[in-house]
Structure 1
Amino acid sequence: MGDFKLKQRKINKSLVAREAREYVKSNPKLKGVMGLYREVFSVQRRFSQRIPDRLPHLTEAQALRLVEEGGTLIDAGKLDVDVALVGELMGQLAEVLVKKSESPVDSLHDFIANELDEEGLSELIGAFLERDDEEFLRRAEGYSQDPALLYMLLHMSLAPFFWKAAGAAVRKADLDQVPRGRCPVCGDLPIMGFLRSEDGLRVLECSLCGSRWGVPRIMCPFCMNVDQGKLKYIFAEGDEGRRAYLCEKCGRYIKVSSAPGEKDEEFVVPLEDLATAHLDLAAQEKGYERGCRTVFS
């Protein structure tokens, strides 16, 4: 498996639009959620152009040592974030959610415009970046919005900052074989995985920075369980190439699909995640929990 260099994702608006149309063509019921992701990504992409490019701050030797020692290439707690820009992006994304969502989120406009001030947003960002879930929940519960919705909105708004930082960092690192569940670039959890087309290597994609890394085929990315007796998988009849791998040890699951073609870098994993929601439902009906908390990356 070491003969192939791991390809990081290379996605843009036109690719996302094209792939979303293909998913809808094969399953018209996906039209709504694919349209939602297209608009979310379009807003994120537009705002990402206003974020300064991050120059690589690590040498290849330093990056290699960090990964080998279990560290991350980005220190999320020290990420340079423009709070005002995050607030503006949250407002734009809220408009998309209000327009596209079937859930009652109409109050998002008023919340961002009138309730969430810059100081409060800065505190939420700080808790998010430090991955202090208790502190985030404590502060989020002081607002009128559902903390889970607020977390998702902030996650989507911070993602472009991580994209920029990760883009510089991954060029310095070999992530082909990194036997761990958390992203070696930013430390977040994977949204799902796929099997590399050249050799079947299991590749995970980060739910936050979008970086990819190769892992062992037999391993739960959430608890590192490698006991085959406690790992199983499910799939829909006639679609064995898409599976949800269930871990009996920690009670979580991750979905893994076979990459559709030779250009793995153009495989839009967030779209595949949405297209395999039936596997989420099947796994959750069996009592398993999704590993990461968000569906957009």
Structure 2
Amino acid sequence: MESNPFDGSGTEIPAVRLPPTDGPFRHRAARFRQLARSRFSLAGYLNLMADLAEIQASLGEQAAAALPPGMSGLPENPAWRATLRSIADRLKPGEAGLASLLDRIRRATDEELAAWGGCVLAGDFDRTDAGITPFVAAALQVHMTSLASRLAREDIGPAQTGSVCPVCGSLPVAALLQTGGAVHGLRYLVCSLCGSEWHRPRIQCIHCGSSKKVAYFAIEGLGGAVKAEGCGDCMTYVKIMDRDKDAAVDPFADDIASLALDLLMAEEGYRRLGFNPLLVPGG
């Protein structure tokens, strides 16, 4: 019997790990709350993202039945736009700036929402409001994660490049060192939008493939579970999170909580490979 390539239950290394059908959002919300208790300067934003993740979890079930299979045509589909408007209605503003952003989402036309969604899917943040982008991305994540979790093996083709999600074509948010079964200690990139994971060998640059000048960077006080893996050949980096050192790490929550590491890498002259759509530059 052939091993399932989408999980770690067999002895074969799974090339792709699809998100769970019940979604990652409740775990993410709990992690945001946990990190907010120790990252005082970021606590307000981390708690806002926890609220957002809880709303994503509550909207996930209805999203499962709202879209046909496949990722095409998503920006124009009314289902994800309804999810975005639901997010705007359910979030508690808390401050005037956020209230204004949420009101802007409520008043936006379908055409505007579709344009925002298209920009986020393309990773084009120059033509979107950085304050609105996390909520647009959150709505897209609800549907894309639901779609990805229900894909069949034949629906997934090989990745065009090692740095692009083989399920939806997006860039990664971070890398995870997994635990348990056949995946223990293996590195998987995590998609910034659909949440799928795909295997890439360790100590090898995700961007250029070189292993000659790979170095690791960390910030004292952040714990040993989150580091940056930088390549001295192409000067790119990706954050790498070790679940053997902290089983609770979440690529989106721990990424935002470790912004000091991004500042360090920028000072060292590195540029980030991938992005976290829940916090984009200028937001």
- Given the alignment, which residue of 175, 198, 202 partners 1:213? 198
CA shift for structure 1 position 289: 2.6
Larger helix fraction of residues = 1
CA shift for structure 1 position 229: 3.1
Aligned to 1:169: 151
CA shift for structure 1 position 127: 5.0
SS at match of 2:240: strand
Taking a change above 3 Å as real, the CA distance of residues 186 and 107 of structure 1, as seen in their structure-2 partners, is: same
CA shift for structure 1 position 105: 4.4
Aligned to 2:172: 190
5+ unaligned residues in a row in structure 2: which ranges?
1-7
Does the 8 Å CA contact 1:274/1:295 hold for their aligned counterparts? no
Tell whether 2:101 aligns with 1:108: yes
CA shift for structure 1 position 180: 1.1
CA shift for structure 1 position 190: 0.9
Does the 8 Å CA contact 2:88/2:106 hold for their aligned counterparts? no
Does the 8 Å CA contact 1:245/1:253 hold for their aligned counterparts? yes
CA shift for structure 1 position 87: 4.9
Aligned to 1:156: 138
Separation in structure 2 between the aligned mates of residue 231 and residue 292 of structure 1, nearest angstrom? 17
Deviations 1:55-92 (A, max 9, x none): 996xxxxxxxxxxxxxxxx5x43348633651552463
Deviations 1:88-111 (A, max 9, x none): 52463487484369xx44432442
CA shift for structure 1 position 51: 1.8
Aligned to 1:245: 229
SS at match of 1:78: coil
- Given the alignment, which residue of 270, 273, 283 partners 1:291? 273
- Given the alignment, which residue of 252, 258, 271 partners 2:242? 258
Tell whether 2:109 aligns with 1:117: yes
Separation in structure 2 between the aligned mates of residue 178 and residue 109 of structure 1, nearest angstrom? 37
Deviations 1:177-222 (A, max 9, x none): 997111111111111112122431111111100111111113333x
**Percent pairwise identity:** 26
Aligned to 1:271: 253
Task: Output the amino acid matched with 1:185.
Answer: V
* TM-score normalised according to structure 1 size: 0.70
Taking a change above 3 Å as real, the CA distance of residues 56 and 89 of structure 1, as seen in their structure-2 partners, is: closer
Taking a change above 3 Å as real, the CA distance of residues 179 and 121 of structure 1, as seen in their structure-2 partners, is: closer
Taking a change above 3 Å as real, the CA distance of residues 231 and 168 of structure 1, as seen in their structure-2 partners, is: same
Does the 8 Å CA contact 1:188/1:207 hold for their aligned counterparts? yes
Does the 8 Å CA contact 2:85/2:106 hold for their aligned counterparts? no
Taking a change above 3 Å as real, the CA distance of residues 88 and 79 of structure 1, as seen in their structure-2 partners, is: closer
Aligned to 2:78: 83
- Given the alignment, which residue of 54, 61, 78 partners 1:42? 54
